[in-house]
Structure 1
Amino acid sequence: MAAGTLFTYPDNWRAFKAQVAAQYSGARLKVASVAPAFTFGQTNRTPAFLNNFPLGKVPAYQGDDGFCLFESNAIAHFLSNESLRGTTPQAAAQVLQWVSFADAEMVPPASAWVFPTLGIMQFNKQATEQAKEEVKKVLSVLNQHLNTRTFLVGERVSLADISVACSMLWLYKQVLEPSFRQPYPNVTRWFLTCVNQPQFKAVLGEVKLCDKMAQFDSKKFADMQPKKETSQTKKEKPVKEPAKPQEKKEKKKAVPAEEEMDECEAALAAEPRSKDPFAHLPKSSFVMDECKRKYSNEDTLTVAVPHFWETFDQEGYSIWYSEYKYPEELTQVFMSCNLISGMFQRLDKLRKNAFASVLLFGTNNDSCISGIWVFRGQELVFPLSEDWQIDYESYNWRKLDPNSQECKTMLKEYWSWEGEFKHVGKPFNQGRVFK
């Protein structure tokens, strides 16, 4: 029987999968999620932790015998028993099918819809509406499958139910209001059956379905963003109530929002500020943040694109086309999407000076990645900082002439996620926006 420690932060739904599996299998699992056992953003950056888990991500599992695993699905599988994994080759394959289904089909649209309501990421109307439609499609598939079944595979709870239910947890808690979930009664019946099992409740507690669809709260989003310390605040030493700033800092550190959002660590905000890579460039009249707000909150074709061309500073900024060099290596669609999201994550410190819409075209084992980027300056920005150089060499880059029809057409198509895309030759699949 497995015995070990699961490192995570509190209320990590990915860690819930392993915890629930352990409840069913009887595995002896200790959870290290709070100080002094584990502090997110600190413990997972220590040499000892990185020696066992090179990516520094959580959840991460270390057995009492020294055996180490990262990636939540692998950990949950290891902590499961034969009944959860599938007792026949057919059942085991079906379990794997639904675990993959959760990651590839449920998690991406659920994240795009739910994260803005939690203040984790900026609201994008177009992306949210697309996510809602994708969620409806997934719920329809589940509803049909569960029409004559109590559980996803066989007659008992399996790792398939655990994985899919945990991936839907925030959907049901935040946005699947009664009117939205009404067409999918089999799914809601199944979900409630799962989360009310003793083994689920021991980990999740009481799960309350939302009564009203949560909306984007700009104030909550602003509060979640790391506050930059100004030179004025550095000079001033508060005499009265000195504990208040510290209290705010502690509160922020307790909510690792970006780990949920493409797994970008919230602790990035606490790193020492380095020299500004754009300090050598003259000031520009183009306001990148205003352009991003237009794109996120208003119609792309009638407002955001016209605003961009009306205010764009050709001397201070440049527009580039990127294309992934190794399309033959792209297999599963969800893995390709993770490739894009991972690049965005590692470029987090570039957000103030860049904007991009990167799209995936095609299907499994026949796809390609390309995008349109807007950068500060006239040269590729990645060589300006060591923090930005991890991924860019895997792409071909071509600078576009902002006065050309080609540039205007491509920017419109990549920003709106629709068009002919004549240069691609594959159907549009999914998109990711770097803001």
Structure 2
Amino acid sequence: MAPTLTGAAGNARARRVRAAAALAGVELNWDSKFDMKANWKTPEFLAKNPFGFLPTLELEDGTVLRESGAIAQYLAELGANSTLLPSDSKQKVEVHEWQCTADQELFIPGSLANRQLQGVLPYNKPNFDGIVKKINERLSVIDNILASKTWLVGERITLADVFVVSALSQLFATIIDGEARSKIPNVIRYFETFVNHPKLLEIFNPTNLIEKVTPPAAPAKEQKPKAEKAPKEPKAPKAPKAKEVDEEEEEPLVPAEPKVKNPLDDLPKSAFNLEEWKRQYSNLDTRGAGGSLEWFYEKFDREGFSIWRVDFKYNEELTQVFMSSNQVGGFFNRLEASRKYLFGSVGVLGKANDSIISGAVIIRGQEIEPVINVAPDWESYSYKKLDVDGNADDKKFFEGAMAWDLVVDGKEWADGKNFK
């Protein structure tokens, strides 16, 4: 009996598996009418696959395989005359390199950007643009490689091509539009050659390439309610109803601590609206005319707020870029108590095992410690006040951190986080 594939028709990972099976000559049982809402994560599905991942492949003996990469490799090896996995050990490693590149450099970041467009994740323009910029850089590298090659490894289609084209099909339908595709002609030629292979026509066509990326509409500004006319004879306010006693409610074992007023609330009122800045930053280009930085310089209150450079003290301990980025995210999470007093843009600059953490924050007041010391690890960072009006280097640093194109000592921005 043929293995049974479970996955949605339009899912790029399911297409990856179907393409591997088609090229390897392996028959699959697959229901194209699989419904994510009705059929996914049902008790029956989770009994076979507790992680709930899609797609899955159920074998004749009841074994359920998960992870599309593992499934595709299994099918490639199952095919009697399959050349999807080269016999040469060096070429086999090259195929695995491309499998990793397809997932880590194209598919996963592309999915994160697309989720912002879909509203699954909050849309953040600098973050979105940074992801797309990085993907386009990777596509440019692949375009140069394909200038003299038909396929990525050797002279025949391998799993390297299955993985990369599956990722490209997702990118070209969501975030890499016509203008961006026009800059990578070799990739497009390669993509079209693959998807029009006789065994793959049904799987990849129609390709539904997007012509123009449309960012989500900016949230509507809140309308102030119109003032209501005062009634001629205002009614006396009703006494609040007594709270009904919950028979199961118990007194707390420890009395609640009284709320302590934050001294930052006693600072003189400021005309600079930090929350409005966060909205402008999220919805406008950072640089250029009409951008968020132009708005910032026009509105910024230099008496009520200040700008600081933030640097991690122990950069020699940093290893992988994504781990360092997660560290920044953890630091920001621990600053939650200061959310209404703080905006931050901090990134990882450099590459694996040779990187630094640096960026800038905008804070209420002129002293950094009252805002930042709510994070237990605040002393792991150094802080320097920036003068964006009188110091060109400080201004350049601040704008680079905001625009996610900061360069420090030759190390370029690799990944970053915003605290908003």
TM-score normalised per structure 2: 0.61
Q: Assess, with a 3 A threshold, how the Cα gap between structure 1 residues 34 and 101 changes in structure 2: closer, same or farther.
A: closer
Between stretches 200-209 and 131-140, larger displacement belongs to: 131-140
Aligned match of 1:275? none
Measure the CA separation in 2 of the matches of 1:59 and 1:322. Answer: 41
Name the CA distance, whole Å, in 1 between partners of 2:347 and 2:203. Answer: 37
Residue pairs, 1:7-18, within 5 angstroms: 11-18=10-17
1:378 is matched by which residue type in structure 2? V
Identical positions, percent = 24
Show the counterpart of 1:415.
Answer: 402
Which one of the candidate residues 307, 325, 330 is aligned to 2:319? Answer: 330
Q: Is the CA contact 2:2–2:28 (under 8 Å) kept in the aligned structure 1?
A: yes
Q: Does 1:186 align with 2:186?
A: yes
1:367 and 2:367 aligned: no
- Whole-angstrom CA distance in 2 between matches of 1:52 and 1:324: 42
Task: Give unpaired runs (5+ residues) of structure 2.
Answer: 221-258, 365-369
Distance apart, 1:323 and its partner CA: 2.8
1:351-383 Cα shifts (integer Å, max 9, x gaps): 975643232222233223344456798245567
Deviations 1:102-154 (A, max 9, x none): 244434775687666555553526963x6666555434433333334332223
Structure having the higher helix fraction is: 1
Q: Which has the larger radius of gyration?
A: 2
- Is the 2:325–2:347 contact (alpha carbons within 8 Å) kept by the matching residues of 1? no
CA contact (8 A) 1:52 1:68 kept: no
Query: Corresponding residue for 2:213?
Result: 214
Quick one: which amino acid aligns to residue 291 of structure 1? Answer: W
Partner Cα distance (1:351, 1:198) in 2: 59
In structure 2, the CA distance between the partners of 1:150 and 1:342, relative to structure 1 (3 Å rule), is farther
What is the match of residue 281 of structure 2?
Answer: 295
CA contact (8 A) 2:84 2:158 kept: yes
Q: Report the CA distance shift for 1:60/1:341 in structure 2 as closer, same or farther (over 3 A).
A: farther
| Residue type at the aligned position of 1:321 | V
Deviation at 1:84, TM superposition (A): 2.3
Give SS of 1:84's match. coil
In structure 1, what is the Cα distance between the partners aligned to 2:303 and 2:5?
Answer: 54
Per-residue displacement from partner, 1:368-420 (whole Å, max 9, x unpaired)? 3344456798245567xxxxxxxxx6993456657898987754442134556
In structure 1, how many angstroms separate the alpha carbons of the residues matched to 2:95 and 2:309? 43
- Mapped partners of 2:123, 2:260: distance in 1: 27
Unaligned runs of 5+ in 1: 224-277, 384-392
Residues 404 and 416, structure 2, Cα contact 8 Å, conserved in 1:
no
Superposed, 1:16-415 pairs within 5 Å as 16-25=15-24, 26=26, 28=28, 34-39=36-41, 52-53=50-51, 58-59=53-54, 61=56, 72-81=68-77, 83-107=83-107, 110=110, 118-119=118-119, 121-122=122-123, 124=125, 128=129, 134-174=134-174, 176=176, 178=178, 180-197=180-197, 200-210=200-210, 212-218=211-217, 287-296=273-282, 297-300=284-287, 304-305=292-293, 307-308=295-296, 310-311=299-300, 321=310, 323=312, 327-328=316-317, 330-331=319-320, 333=321, 335-336=322-323, 339=326, 355-373=343-361, 378-380=371-373, 396-398=380-382, 411-415=398-402
The superposition leaves residues 258-293 of structure 1 with CA deviations (integer Å, 9 ceiling, x where unpaired) of: xxxxxxxxxxxxxxxxxxxx9976598664442133
How far residue 343 of structure 1 moved from its aligned partner, in angstroms, is: 5.6
Q: CA deviation at 1:191?
A: 0.8
1:28-71 per-residue CA deviation (whole Å, 9 max, x = no partner) reads 576876244324xx98xx8x79x954xx7x44757556867765
Aligned positions, number: 354
- CA distance 1:85–1:289, shift in 2 (3 Å): farther
What is the CA distance between 1:308 and its match in structure 2? Answer: 4.5
